[in-house]
Amino acid sequence: MPRTARDVVFVDGVRTPFGKAGPKGLYAETRADDLVVRAIRELMRRNPSLPPERVDEVAVAATTQTGDQGLTIGRSAAVLAGLPKSVPGYAIDRMCAGAMTAVTTTAAGISFGSYDVVVAGGVEHMGRHPMGEGVDPNPRFLADKLVDPSALVMGSTAENLHDRFPSITKERADAYAVRSQDKVAAAYKAGKIQPDLVPTAIRSVEKGWGLATEDEPPRPGTTLDDLAKLKTPFRVHGNVTAGNAAGLNDGATACLLAAEDVARELGLTPRMRLIDFAFAGVEPEVMGVGPVPATEKLLARNSLTMDDIGLIEINEAFAVQVLAFLEHFKIADDDPRVNPWGGAIALGHPLASSGVRLMNQLSRLFEERTDVRYGLTTMCVGMGMGGTVLWENVNWEGDK
């Protein structure tokens, strides 16, 4: 039987507050799978017109798939969240772009006609499972000189990017980081961030039970002087510090995607429409430049230029990585289209979960910015990749 591609819409997205990884962080004694279960349950609660049995797939990303992030976490989280046993699920890994890939993979299934409604998201508990835990890189990577040794250390790849873009100084990266902190503080004050957050139970043997209601990583009031004093751990007299990079974080995200006609049938209100997506590879030792070729590929395929893009949500793994993207596309460092409510330098970057955070914020911005038709979510990916998703605002005033 012939199949016809269907339009895919982003219906809703939620996330736990992000915590700092480590023994003193919000989620130090909270399981990773419980974080993503909390997000899935909230997603279903917020969309009561969706019968749980209509969910066709649950795709959950985790970079370190072991312990409480293992056991095919998409399936185990679906069962723990109370979805019917008939709902399947799976785990997915594309490092930092895990949740983004969970979205694009399941969305492709919707477009193809194999799914009607899916849940996609990601989780990373970097306190329990540090990046690289249990990894055994093949010695041929270095012995055969397939990659530079620095490719396996994300902070070193950011220093390499400073080398490739000498115009991106430490001072410029610090200035970008301060703006990210300021924008997050302003967004919190205006109540822009809170609607995406799911109050999440936390436990502590010492303190008992508590409730996480806001992100732990932001440092409001950060100044350039503060950042200038920080050490450069990846290179002597380097450029990358804890202040101009995302931290080590814990958190989970989940979103609801559907075929546009099925969303109408079920009384679900779409926030944005998925137009296209692209992934691209780059040299692993400068993985931060990955969003550039991914975005170029996507724009070319859709006959668009950056002038057509009204909003850009780019993951701030490192300030230099964002600035390299902006410099390539001749976008000013303080362009208002870019991360209007701040980004991962302030909010945190729990690896595989971050792609859906970008989508959540873009969808909220679309609701306010009916003058904007197209937006991007884009991010760099460890081992030398980039991913970009092109979205259309369903509230765009040109459609009315």
Tokens of 55: 């969910």
Q: Is the residue at 263 inside a domain? A: no
| Predicted pLDDT of residue 204 | 87
pLDDT tens for each residue of the chain, 400 residues long: 666 689 999 999 999 999 999 999 999 999 999 999 999 999 999 999 999 999 999 999 999 999 999 999 999 999 999 999 999 999 999 999 999 999 999 999 999 999 999 999 999 999 999 988 998 999 999 899 999 999 989 999 999 999 999 999 999 999 999 999 999 999 999 999 999 999 999 988 888 999 999 999 999 999 999 999 999 999 999 999 999 999 999 999 999 999 999 999 999 999 999 999 999 999 999 999 999 999 999 999 999 999 999 999 999 999 999 999 999 999 999 999 999 999 999 999 999 999 999 999 999 999 999 999 999 999 999 999 999 999 999 999 986 6
Distance CA 383, CA 286 (A): 9
Distance CA 347, CA 397 (A): 31
b/e code 136-175 from CB counts within 10 Å (16+ = b):
eeeeebeeeeebbebbbebbbbbbbbbeebeebebebbbb
Q: DSSP class of residue 43?
A: H
b/e code 196-206 from CB counts within 10 Å (16+ = b):
bbbebebeeee
Cβ(74)–Cβ(40) below 8 Å? no
Q: Is the residue at 183 inside a domain? A: yes
Report phi then psi at 289, rounded to 5: -85, 0
Q: Is the residue at 375 inside a domain? A: yes
| Predicted pLDDT of residue 131 | 87
Question: pTM of this prediction?
Answer: 0.96
Distance CA 197, CA 18 (A): 9
Distance CA 226, CA 387 (A): 32
Number of domains making up the chain: 1
Cβ(278)–Cβ(298) below 8 Å? yes
3-state secondary structure (DSSP) of residue 228: helix
Inter-CA distances, 27 with 19, 35, 216, 310, 376, Å: 6, 9, 10, 36, 30
Q: Is the residue at 122 inside a domain? A: no
Cross-strand bridge partners of residue 313:
377
Q: Is the residue at 242 inside a domain? A: no
Q: Is the residue at 319 inside a domain? A: yes
b/e code 261-295 from CB counts within 10 Å (16+ = b):
ebbeebebebbbbbbbbbbbebebbbbbbbbbbbb
Q: Match 């380097």 to its residue by tokens.
A: 238
| Predicted pLDDT of residue 9 | 98
| Predicted pLDDT of residue 206 | 87
Domain that holds residue 376: 140-193+275-391
Beta strands 309-314 and 374-381, pairing class: parallel
- CA neighbor of 120 nearest in space, from 86, 81, 91, 79: 91
We report the CATH number of the domain holding residue 181 as 3.40.47.10
Catalytic center residues? 96, 349, 380
Tokens of 124: 């990373």
| Predicted pLDDT of residue 205 | 87
Q: Is the residue at 180 inside a domain? A: yes
Kindly give the residue spans of alpha helices, DSSP state H, lying in 21-67: 32-46
Q: Is the residue at 367 inside a domain? A: yes
